[in-house]
Amino acid sequence: MKEWQIKPKISSDLVARHPDIDPFILQLLYNRGLEDEASIRSFFSVAPYYDPFLFKNMAAAVDLIISHIKQNDKIVVYGDYDADGVTSSVILLETLNILHGRAEVYLPDRVSEGYGLNKAAINQIAEQGFKLIITVDNGIRNKEEVQYAQKLGLDIIVTDHHVLPEQETDLPPCLYINPSDRHDNYPWKYLAGVGVSFKLVSALLAKANLSDKQRNLISERCLDLVAVGTVADMVSLLGENRQLVKDGLKVLNQNKRLGLSELIKIAKINGDRPLQAWNIGWQIGPRLNAASRLAHANSAFALLTTKDADEAKELAVELNNRNISRQEITEEISAQVEEQIDPDNLPLVIFGVAGPEQIWNEGVIGLVAGRIAEKYYRPTLIITRLIEEAEFDPVTKKLVPKKISFKGSGRSIEEFNLIAAVEEGAPYLDKYGGHPMACGFSLIGEENLRHFQDKLLELAAVSLKSVSLVPKLKIEATLDFSMLNLELAEKLDLFAPYGQNNPQPRLASYDLRIDDIVTMGFDRQHIKLRLSPADPLEAAKSRSGAIWALAFGGTQEYQNLQIGDRIDLAYYLEVNEFNGRREPQLKIVDIKLKDKA
C-alpha cells in the first residue's frame, strides 16, 4: 500500500499576486519552485542560453585548447561509459575535428578501469603522443591522476558536473569547468556532463574564425545528443536544461544522426510519433547504457558517430539485443537479492551481497538497487564479489580465493543522504563517489565490508528514526472530476518535456465510480476503466459525463475490481489522439478501493 502525499496548497496571497494564471496551473508552477513572474515567464517561453564565458575558467580553457590546435598537437577527449559521458565525448570530438584539431576519444572500461581517470590509461595516452587531455563528465575528484598526467608532460582540462570534493585542497590542480562549483559565476548549477561539454563547444565556436551561420549549424547539430545525455543522466529539467532538451528534441525528431535513427527504428521506439523526453529516459538512454553494462561503451560511441548505413544498422541491432540481455540479467540478480530479504523484518538499509558462488554483473547492480529501493522504500546497496587473487588447491582441485574485493552500487530514498553516509564509511572503502540519491564504491576484504555495513546501519538508525518507511506517492494536486477535460489536458502538455524536478503532473480525484471495465492487448494484459463521479451532484457538473482511465499491464493488479466499485484514483491526465479525434484520458498510477456500503 502506497502512502499518498499531496503537495501543500498554494496560498491565497500567491493567487492574488498572479490573477491572470489559472490557480491549478499556478499550483503546479509553485510545486516546481516557480513563484515570481520572471521564472514563470521563463518556464513557458523560449529562453536564450547563458554565456559560456560566465564560467570562471572557460576563457583560459578555450585559449589552451586553441593553442594546442594551432601547434597541431594530439588531443584526447577522456569520457565516461554512460549515455551522458558518451554523448559529451561525441559533441566535443566532432567540434574539435571541425576546428581542425587532431582529436580522439578515450572511454574507460566500466569493469576493468571504472569511473574517472586512471594512471594506466594516462600512460597509454602519453605513450601515443597526446599533449592535452580534456575530460568530460568526470575528473573533478581525480587530483592524484591529474597530477600524474602533468608529471608526464600532459596539459589537462577537467569538465565535469559532479559534486566537488568538500576540501578545496582535494580539487585537481588544473583548469576545471564545473557548474557545481559554488565559487563559480555560472547561473545554472545543474547541467549534465553533456551540458558542460556543450558549453565548452559553444565557447570554442565563439572564438573560432567562422560565420554566424556556420557557428549556429555546428551548435545545432550537437543538440540532439545534448538532449539525450541530459535526460538520460536524470538531472533537473528546469532552467537552462529545460531549454536545451526542448531544442534538442526538435533536432532529434529531424532524424539527422544516422545511428540514432537506426536505433529508434530497430527498437520501435516512437511508432512514427514525435519523440518526447520519456522516449529518451526509458528507451534510448537504456540502450546506449547497455553498451558498457555488458561490454564496452565504444559500441555506443560508434553508433552515434558512424556515417555508414550498414554499420549503423548492425550497431543498433547489437545495442538493442544487449538491452534485452541487460533486462534478463537484472531480473535474475533481483530474484537472488529478493531471496536475501525478509519482507517481515526489513533492515533500515538493505544490503544485497553476492555469495561466493554467485556472479553478479557489476554493470547492472545499480539498476537492481534502484528496483529494490523503490519496492521496499529503503536505502539499498547491491554488492558484487570479485576474486583479486586465488590459489589452486591440489586436494579439492579448485581455486581458493586469497584476496576478495567488492564493488557496490546504491540507491536511496529522499530522507537518507546516501553519499554523506558513504563518506562517513570512507575509512573502510577503496574508492567511492555519487550524490545524495545514488553512489558507487569499492572495498577490499570481508572485514571492511562488515564495518561499512555496520556504519551505514548506525547512521540510518539516527536519520531514519522517525521516518515512515513505506512507499510514497507524491501527488501534485487533487481535482474535481468536472475539471478533467481536453482543455486542461492540453494545458498540461505545456509543462513538457518532463523529467527530474519537472515530472509529469501526477494528480488525484476522489470517490469515482467504475461504470465499465475493458481488457485489451494480445493477452488482455491492459485494462481500461470507464469512470464517473459517484456523487450525483458532482456528476451533474461534469461536461464529459464519464472518462476512460487506462493501466498498461494492469489487468492482473486490478483483476478484483468490479463495475459499481467506488475508488480514489491517482493518475496522469493526457490527450488521447485516435482516428483524428482528441479526447482526455487518464493514465492510472494507483487505485484505492473505497469500502463498499
Q: What is the pLDDT of residues 219-277, one digit of tens each?
A: 999 999 999 999 999 999 999 999 999 999 999 999 889 999 999 999 999 877 899 99
Cα torsion angle, 72, 73, 74, 78, sign: negative
- State how far the Cα of 133 lies from the Cα of 78, in Å rounded to an integer: 7
- The mean pLDDT value for 378-399 works out to 76
Task: Determine the average pLDDT of the residues in 184-209.
Answer: 97
Alpha helices (runs of H) in 340-405, residue ranges in sequence order: 365-376
Note whether residue 2 is domain-resident. no
- Cα separation, 589 vs 552, whole angstroms: 10
Least confident range of 246-255, 428-437, 458-467, 509-518: 428-437
Residue 415 counted as domain residue:
yes
| Terminal alpha carbon distance of the chain | 22
pTM confidence score: 0.90
507 pLDDT exceeds 60? yes
Is the domain of 114 the same as that of 217? yes
Peptide bond preceding 497 in cis form (omega within 30 of 0): yes
| 8 Å CB contact between 258 and 312 | yes
Residues in CB range of 339: below 8 A, 6 or more apart: none
Rg (CA), the chain: 26
pLDDT band for 396, please (50, 70, 90 cuts): low
Kindly indicate the confidence band of residue 434, based on its pLDDT and cuts at 50, 70 and 90.
confident
- What pLDDT, on the 0 to 100 scale, is given for residue 397? 56
Q: Which of 190, 200, 194, 272 is nearest to 239 (CA)?
A: 190
Region 347-375: mean pLDDT is 95
Is 472 a member of any domain?
no
* Structural domain total, the chain: 5
pLDDT tens, position by position, 66-107: 999 999 999 999 999 999 999 999 999 999 999 999 999 999
Print the domain residue range for 434. 340-463
Domain ends where: 168, 199, 234?
234
Please indicate, yes or no, whether residues 517 and 441 belong to a single structural domain of this protein. no
Interatomic CA distance for residues 72 and 74, integer angstroms = 7
What are the DSSP E strand ranges found in 329-450? 350-353, 380-393, 398-411, 431-435, 438-444
Same domain, 124 and 210: yes
DSSP line for 129-185:
TEEEEEEES--TT-HHHHHHHHHTT-EEEEE--SPPPSSGGGS-SSEEE-TT-TT--
pLDDT digits (tens, 9 = 90+) for 310-353: 999 999 999 999 999 999 999 999 999 999 999 999 999 999 99
CATH (domain of 438):
3.10.310.30
Confidence of residue 393 (pLDDT cuts 50, 70, 90): low
Domain end point (choices 413, 428, 463):
463
Residue 90, pLDDT score? 98
Q: Is the pLDDT of residue 388 over 70?
A: no
Which tens digits make up the pLDDT trace of 460-479? 999 999 999 998 999 999 99
